[in-house]
Structure 1
């Protein structure tokens, strides 16, 4: 009887604990993150419209139109290759020297390499610009570290609800600037017709747009951004300490500073960044595997969709032209971004990170199954209302799938061994994610093209992508139902 009374009263006793006070979002610093993300996204959105034309102009293809996509793919992948090889080191270094110095370096790299890209007249020059930009641009990973620094578990979902503002704005401004400002002497002869510089370098003005935006972001960061790493040290001291550790196995001086004058450890001493090996905990490895498979599934779907839309109906696609394909992506991006801005935080408060993550991954499965269904409808009825309704349903499912990465940020934060090692933790996650984004496009596009060949199974590509989706679901099952469970265990 007593046990029954205790169970009856338990919900009443725990009710005050469930109503956790939410920390207000620090807008005085968060708006800077939105500016930084906009600057980063703008680069890719600006280059996309004129890159094929630029490759034709420099003559690297020798007039072979079929080679344009090949060289454009090399330029696109080169950035991610360089970033993948350096993102872990940038993120880990930011735990020691601070976020702000590395962000300033990244913005300088964006501004400089974008101008050099516009001034390049050889493919080797274009490739070098993208490689250098990717190698020095640790901004994407470090900015995510910064976001985790200024937020906590109560306001991080709200912060991610506003993140689409950056890429939505870049998706609108970037293509307009890249397309309309390329070859300005030909498009606007009354304004730029006398400029020999723009005649010689017809894509410089387009490249100057993200370069100027990166310069403005550099000034904003320098004067307005507050450093969030309390354990930062000058770079030369880190090098000196590393050399001393190589020469002697004695405890480093940093351990002596962790004691007070009485010789006892200071309980209030700020946590120190852990070495990379100490960061490789089971929690971190679980998040790395989950985010890596999620990224692989996401990039495979993202790569195949435009190819599917453009492929002739008789070969398994929809035979859509570029304007209609662009309209589909632009509309879905606007709708998905608007949904996340206004509703993601509320839905997260109601259901939590794990439930939204699993729902997002589950929505990715039918979005892939709809691909052959849409083609079958197009074969039977042409591009009628049924096909467009199926496309609309697919885009809604993909918008739900897009919330997965916002949920993953909660698990990254909870998995970090301590607050001072958030950068290293996020760096590991980003390293595997960028590696997946290198492999995914090539694998997805290759399998899709192979399955379209005569005598092949048209479902082969869909089997492949579905297997990636189920793999992502399988790795995410090992995440906790609530990220706070990891934090309560004591990191």
Structure 2
């Protein structure tokens, strides 16, 4: 019996035999554990995104730019990138460690690291202490790869699209809550003078959003510590593979090869499915993190420097709408679109949305210079946000490819760790590169100050050449069905 995948992503067989996937239908999702796994993913975006509404203002108040607003982008981008630089150093080690000792202890350590770092960030009054707090968060946080492994182990090919459709939803919730917290609670002594009149809030004007973010992480830590179940089996508890599938066994159990009980060495992970999936994830991450860094900078900078000159609270609301809209779009449409068009077609189409997204930045600024920040400007910003909603569909698709590319199940953590290492390195480059190019374009008047957008439009077009190398068929579907 052979298997092919139709354009709509459904399996097509050339045999009259009943395929294993049809025998088992769609496996019900373990709702409680999936729910906890999804909640875990909300912590990092809340803590990382909460600084975006005020980070450029904070840099301006530190006195490190010498009063030159055009240099804000250099330092803000550096601070935003440091988390990913240090995460790239340790995320693979954390993920490989989770293959051996389990996902839960590594996740709990990561949550502790996030709490400590965001509290330190709020208490920082110098550029050096800001740098140290961001580095601390990256070094201790290996959760992003481990949580993807956890979700992969809680699902199988029959229900993975539904579960992975929810991953961007919770991530987007964090992206929505983070900026809302940061924009609404920054400088509380100015915005809420009656409740926050103490000198402490004037001395540390950005501590309130930090402690609010840390409190959310603490609640999630307690939930994980009490209710999260370990998904990595004990090394001395190898299940025996039945000679033929039992009617009561799950699809994953029926097709699991004996070799899936031992983690593979790192060099054996570098096979084509893993490499091509990781490369596409990396290009997606570079483009996305660059947009995320450019948006608040674009909104903050004066009109004559290529921005919109908006207040931090307004910036927080806009980025919050971006996060909420993305989550709602993924929840309503991701699984349906993937089943209708297939993960490859959806990934390529979603990635292509970056081209108009970057081209709209100079258009919005030109309209604002001509007509002011008018209704037309907000309509154009809204169109840009809608494109961003659709673009985020690419994440669920590439997560499915990465999960399926792991050579065996006990190497899933290492595979996700390897992907997060390269992506963390790329994300470390993205904010610093994009914000620095913004400042460089404005300072040197490259293409009228819009040179940064020309660069990323070209990069977006070139990334499609890599995206089309992904196969129409996800590897694990044929491997597990033929297993």
- Same fold per TM (> 0.5)? yes
- Cα distance in 2 for residues equivalent to 1:387 and 1:328: 13
> What secondary structure, in the 3-state scheme, does the structure 1 residue paired with 2:42 have?
helix
Cα pair 2:104 2:228 within 8 Å, conserved: yes
Q: Which residue of 2 aligns with 1:352?
A: 342
Q: Which residue of 1 aligns with 2:429?
A: 439
Query: How much has 1:53 moved relative to structure 2?
Result: 5.8
Q: Which residue of 2 aligns with 1:37?
A: 41
Q: Which residue of 2 aligns with 1:243?
A: none
Query: How much has 1:221 moved relative to structure 2?
Result: 1.3
Cα pair 2:176 2:324 within 8 Å, conserved: no
Residues 209 and 404 (structure 1 numbering): CA distance in 2 closer, same or farther, change over 3 Å? same
> What are the within-5 Å matches in structure 2 for residues 217-228 of structure 1?
217-228=220-231
- Cα distance in 1 for residues equivalent to 2:380 and 2:58: 36
> What secondary structure, in the 3-state scheme, does the structure 1 residue paired with 2:50 have?
helix
Query: How much has 1:367 moved relative to structure 2?
Result: 2.9
Indicate yes or no: 2:333 matched with 1:330.
Answer: no
> What secondary structure, in the 3-state scheme, does the structure 2 residue paired with 1:422 have?
helix
For residues 142-197 of structure 1, what are the alpha-carbon distances to aligned partners after superposition, in whole Å with 9 as ceiling and x for unaligned?
A: 11111111112222222232234434443454345445555656765655556x76
Indicate yes or no: 2:132 matched with 1:105.
Answer: no
Cα pair 2:162 2:335 within 8 Å, conserved: yes
> What secondary structure, in the 3-state scheme, does the structure 2 residue paired with 1:319 have?
coil
**Structure 1, 185-194 or 430-439: larger mean CA deviation:** 185-194
- Cα distance in 1 for residues equivalent to 2:373 and 2:185: 34
**Structure 1, 377-386 or 26-35: larger mean CA deviation:** 377-386
Q: Which residue of 1 aligns with 2:209?
A: 206
> What are the within-5 Å matches in structure 2 for residues 47-446 of structure 1?
47-51=51-55, 61=64, 64=67, 66=69, 70-182=74-186, 191=195, 193=197, 203-231=206-234, 271-308=261-298, 317=306, 319-322=308-311, 325-374=315-364, 387-446=377-436
Query: How much has 1:461 moved relative to structure 2?
Result: 3.3
Q: CA RMSD in A?
A: 3.8
Residues 414 and 174 (structure 1 numbering): CA distance in 2 closer, same or farther, change over 3 Å? closer
Query: How much has 1:360 moved relative to structure 2?
Result: 0.6
Cα pair 1:415 1:487 within 8 Å, conserved: no
Q: Which residue of 2 aligns with 1:470?
A: 461
Cα pair 1:284 1:416 within 8 Å, conserved: yes
Greater relative CO, 1 or 2 (CA 8 Å, sep 6+): 2
Residues 305 and 129 (structure 1 numbering): CA distance in 2 closer, same or farther, change over 3 Å? closer
**Structure 1, 78-87 or 106-115: larger mean CA deviation:** 106-115
Indicate yes or no: 2:479 matched with 1:488.
Answer: yes
> What secondary structure, in the 3-state scheme, does the structure 2 residue paired with 1:478 have?
coil
- Cα distance in 2 for residues equivalent to 1:485 and 1:172: 33
TM-score (norm 2): 0.80
Query: How much has 1:414 moved relative to structure 2?
Result: 1.4
Cα pair 1:98 1:232 within 8 Å, conserved: no
Residues 83 and 381 (structure 1 numbering): CA distance in 2 closer, same or farther, change over 3 Å? same
Indicate yes or no: 2:452 matched with 1:461.
Answer: yes
Residues 228 and 206 (structure 1 numbering): CA distance in 2 closer, same or farther, change over 3 Å? same
Aligned residues: 453
Q: Which residue of 1 aligns with 2:470?
A: 479
Cα pair 1:145 1:426 within 8 Å, conserved: yes
Cα pair 1:109 1:136 within 8 Å, conserved: yes
Q: Which residue of 1 aligns with 2:8?
A: none
- Cα distance in 2 for residues equivalent to 1:270 and 1:224: 26
TM-score (norm 1): 0.79
Query: How much has 1:22 moved relative to structure 2?
Result: 1.7
